[in-house]
């Protein structure tokens, strides 16, 4: 997509309102396929700009314990890729969230990537992030992503070289995802001491492309610090943990938690 994609507009709108865009993550099908749309509506009501909707996978190597449990619950509930697309269709009807398909490669390869990305676009997704496909190995994916009109989003980390950050930024649309620290996803006590330097390097590589920081952001205080450095703040495990702990109260408590994080993104 061009710079006028829904993802790009979300970041542009946030910047115009003197805040970082808030990017939320939910595992589709957790705790059940039927719950996903209501949780997404709660995220939207809390003020989120972008929703990463995760495809549950049996071997989520980049995920910490919280997201692994979420994927396990979703798979145990029978969640399929078709359920993910069906949820996206309803979320697109019910909210104005920009939607990002967040997945490992295997579930998509099993269906055929050209078919999958076309279906994703028709379902209402705006972008795609493949957790285990580095930019250097993404050539076969990028063509069908582009053909479907989706924004490809790539990851960089504190260990990425300047050259690799440059390649990932050049291949990304919508935003560049900056992993805040080495390791898996998950709530942490405090942010990495190297975060400011990592973001500065990513900023040089990205140029005008927005950058969003994720992994380990769990509190409004964390979000406030990241919002001073980056264009977007990504929160995943903390939201999934909220759902895990809240039972029937999940939509209400999730909305309240997201609202507190969005408020912290104001500059």
User: How many percent of the chain have pLDDT more than 90?
Assistant: 90
Write phi, then psi, for 84 (nearest 5 degrees).
-60, -45
Contact 261, 23 (CB under 8 A): no
Query: d(Cα 40, Cα 242) in Å, to the nearest integer?
Result: 13
**Whether 63 is catalytic:** yes
Q: Are 14 and 49 in contact (CB under 8 A)?
A: yes
For domain 6-264, give the CATH superfamily: Aldolase class I (3.20.20.70)
Q: What is the pLDDT of residues 205-245, one digit of tens each?
A: 999 999 999 998 999 999 999 999 999 999 999 999 999 99
Catalytic residue among 17, 30, 49, 52: 52
Under a CB-based contact definition with an 8 Å cutoff, are residues 255 and 45 in contact?
yes
Catalytic residue flag (residue 196): no
Only one residue has tokens 């053909």, namely 147
Q: Write the pLDDT tens digit of every residue in 26-46.
A: 999 999 999 999 999 999 999
Q: Tens of pLDDT along 116-129?
A: 999 999 999 999 99
Q: Taking the domains of the chain in order of start, what are their residue ranges? A: 6-264
Residues 75-105: tens digit of each pLDDT? 999 999 999 999 999 999 999 999 999 999 9
Catalytically annotated residue among 30, 49, 63, 231: 63
């Amino acid at each position: 997509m061009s710079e006028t994609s829904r993802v790009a507009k979300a970041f542009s709108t946030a910047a115009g309102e003197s805040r970082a865009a808030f990017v939320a993550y939910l595992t589709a099908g957790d705790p059940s396929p039927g719950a996903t749309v209501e949780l997404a509506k709660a995220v939207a009501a809390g003020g989120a700009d972008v929703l990463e909707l995760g495809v549950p996978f049996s071997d989520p190597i980049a995920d910490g314990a919280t997201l692994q449990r979420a994927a396990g619950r979703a798979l145990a509930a029978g969640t399929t890729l078709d359920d993910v697309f069906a949820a996206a269709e309803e979320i697109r009807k019910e909210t104005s969230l920009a939607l990002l398909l967040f997945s490992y490669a295997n579930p998509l390869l099993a269906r055929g990537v050209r078919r999958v990305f076309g279906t994703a676009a028709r379902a209402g997704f705006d972008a795609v992030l493949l957790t285990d496909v580095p930019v250097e190995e993404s050539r076969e994916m990028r063509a069908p992503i582009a053909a479907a009109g989706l924004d490809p989003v790539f990851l960089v980390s504190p260990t990425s070289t300047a050259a690799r950050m440059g390649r990932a930024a050049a291949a990304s649309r919508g935003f560049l995802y900056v992993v805040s620290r080495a390791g898996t996803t998950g709530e942490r006590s405090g942010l990495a001491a190297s975060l400011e330097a990592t973001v500065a390097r990513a900023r040089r590589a990205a140029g005008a492309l927005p950058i969003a920081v994720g992994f380990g952001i769990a509190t409004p205080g964390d979000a406030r610090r990241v919002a001073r450095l980056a264009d977007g703040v990504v929160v995943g495990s903390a939201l999934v943990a909220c759902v895990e702990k809240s039972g029937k109260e999940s939509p209400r408590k999730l909305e309240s938690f997201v609202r507190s994080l969005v408020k912290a993104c104001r500059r």
